[in-house]
Structure 1
Amino acid sequence: MDFDRLESVMRKLALAAGDVIMEIYNSDDFDVRSKSDDSPVTAADEAADAVISAGLRDAFPDVLLVTEEQADSHGQQADAFLIVDPLDGTKEFIHRRGDFTVNIAYVEDGTPVRGVVYAPAKGRMFFTRADGSSVEEQGPFDRGAVGPLSPISVTSPDNAALMVVASKSHRDQATDDYIGKYAVKDMRSAGSSLKFCLVATGEADIYPRVGRTMEWDTAAGHAVLKGAGGDVVRFDDHAPLTYGKPDYANPFFIAYAPGVDLKKA
């Protein structure tokens, strides 16, 4: 893989997708339907998917593309693949809460090695550079010229006063019970893959997810967090969270900054 080209293409496609998403987001109304699993989908999901898929297939025609909105891609496997959630946080989008993202990632041998997470309504853009390090770009954003880049890094956590981030739309008692095992200084809620990015920037120390997710939900944020010095492990045995599973479904997991004293479930 040409990582310089991948960095440029993923960034530009995330911005292009963000533009079409925001056009629909700012309209008077948008069509909301249910998919076969009863999860919501909107015209913005589909429009963003079309932009990203066309761009990735043009740039990397020989690399498998797996995307949430194309069910026929979910049965395909490869050692290296691109994986996309064109609009992560559809519920946040529908309720106009702003915590939704465009997620594009590249996975090699089970690990997300490059990714971009763009939150167009928040004006925040995170991505891995060609060398694997993670940055946050300062807006306003331009598809041509890259704006000022700030290296991001996980914090050095204080296990006596941890900063925790949890899901805004999927918070439940099991999550609260697990968080209760830690000494928590403060807690915040966020939607979509922004939670990974808050750990990556040091705005949080740990993000536990006790609930169903798919690989396209997590791969880009996982890549950004790894590039910032963090990691993601399975909830049950703290083994690395891997990708390319037969159904692209994730087990429960914990995203964290090294130094957090992880508790067992």
Structure 2
Amino acid sequence: MNYEDLLGAMRRLAIEAGEKIMEIYDADDFEVRAKSDESPVTEADEAADALISAGLREAFPDVLVVTEEQAESHTHNASEFLIVDPLDGTKEFIKRRGDFTVNIAYVVDGEPVRGVVYAPARGRMFYTDEEGASVEEDGELHPDTPGHCRPIRVSDPDNDALMVVASKSHRDEATDAYISKYATKDMKSAGSSLKFCLVATGEADLYPRLGRTMEWDTAAGHAVLKGAGGKVVRFDDHTPLTYGKPGYENPFFIAYAPGVDLKPA
């Protein structure tokens, strides 16, 4: 894989998908339907998915593309693949709360090695560069011309005063009970894969997820966090979270800045 070409394609497609999403987000109304698993889907999910999947397949015809909105892709597997959530945080989108993202990642041998997370309503774009280090791009975003990028890095956490981020739409008693094991300075709520990015930038130290997620929800944020020096491990045994699992379903996990004294499950 040519990582310069990959970065250019992922970044461009994320921005173009974000533009389509925001056209629908800013409209007076949009259609919301329920998928077979009862999760919501909108025309923005489908428009972004069509754009990204077509663009990736054209640019990288020999690489498997797995995307949330194309169920047939969930039955395929490969040692390397691109994985897409065209609109992560659909519930946030529907409620017009802004915390939704476009996620595109490249996985090799179970590890997300490159990724882009774009939050169009927040104007924040995070990605791994050609070398695999993570950056946040500032200013107005243009699909074909990258702007100023600044390196991002995880915090040096203080275990007596941790900053924790948790899900806005999926918070539960089990999550709160686990967080209570830590000495926390403050708590943040955020939607979608922005939680990974808040750990990657040092705005948070710890993100535990005790709930169902799929690999397309996490791969891009995981790549960004890894490129910023962070880690993502399984909740049960603290071994690395891997990708390409059957059905692309994740176990519970913890994303964190190294230096956090992880508590047992």
What is aligned with 1:30? 30
User: Residue deviations 1:166-192, cap 9 Å, x none?
Assistant: 000000000000000000000000000
1:223 maps onto 2:223 in alignment? yes
What amino acid sits opposite 2:101 in the alignment?
Answer: T
What is aligned with 1:245? 245
d(CA) in 2 for partners of 1:130, 1:72? 31
Tell me how far 1:145 sits from its aligned partner: 1.4
1:200 maps onto 2:217 in alignment? no
User: Residue deviations 1:49-100, cap 9 Å, x none?
Assistant: 0000110000000000000000000000000000000000000000000000
What is aligned with 2:126? 126
1:138 maps onto 2:138 in alignment? yes
The aligned runs of 1:134-173 (5 Å cut-off) are 134-173=134-173
The answer as to whether partners of 2:8 and 2:144 remain within 8 angstroms in 1 is no
1:92 maps onto 2:85 in alignment? no
Tell me how far 1:139 sits from its aligned partner: 2.1
1:5 maps onto 2:5 in alignment? yes
d(CA) in 1 for partners of 2:108, 2:119? 25
Moved more, 137-146 or 48-57: 137-146
TM-score when normalising by structure 2? 1.00
d(CA) in 2 for partners of 1:254, 1:188? 15
The answer as to whether partners of 2:124 and 2:136 remain within 8 angstroms in 1 is yes
Provide structure 2 residue ranges, at least 5 long, that are not aligned to the other structure.
none
TM-score when normalising by structure 1? 1.00
The aligned runs of 1:54-65 (5 Å cut-off) are 54-65=54-65
What is aligned with 1:105? 105
Tell me how far 1:246 sits from its aligned partner: 1.1
**For 2:246, what is the secondary structure of its paired residue?**
coil
What is aligned with 1:255? 255
What is aligned with 1:185? 185
What is aligned with 2:71? 71
1:115 maps onto 2:115 in alignment? yes
d(CA) in 2 for partners of 1:34, 1:62? 32
What amino acid sits opposite 1:186 in the alignment?
Answer: D
Provide structure 1 residue ranges, at least 5 long, that are not aligned to the other structure.
none
Structure 1 residue runs of 4 or more that deviate by more than 4 Å after TM superposition: none
- The percentage of aligned residue pairs carrying the same residue is 76
d(CA) in 2 for partners of 1:244, 1:237? 19
d(CA) in 1 for partners of 2:46, 2:139? 25
What amino acid sits opposite 2:183 in the alignment?
Answer: A
RMSD: 0.3
The answer as to whether partners of 2:231 and 2:256 remain within 8 angstroms in 1 is yes
d(CA) in 1 for partners of 2:203, 2:159? 15
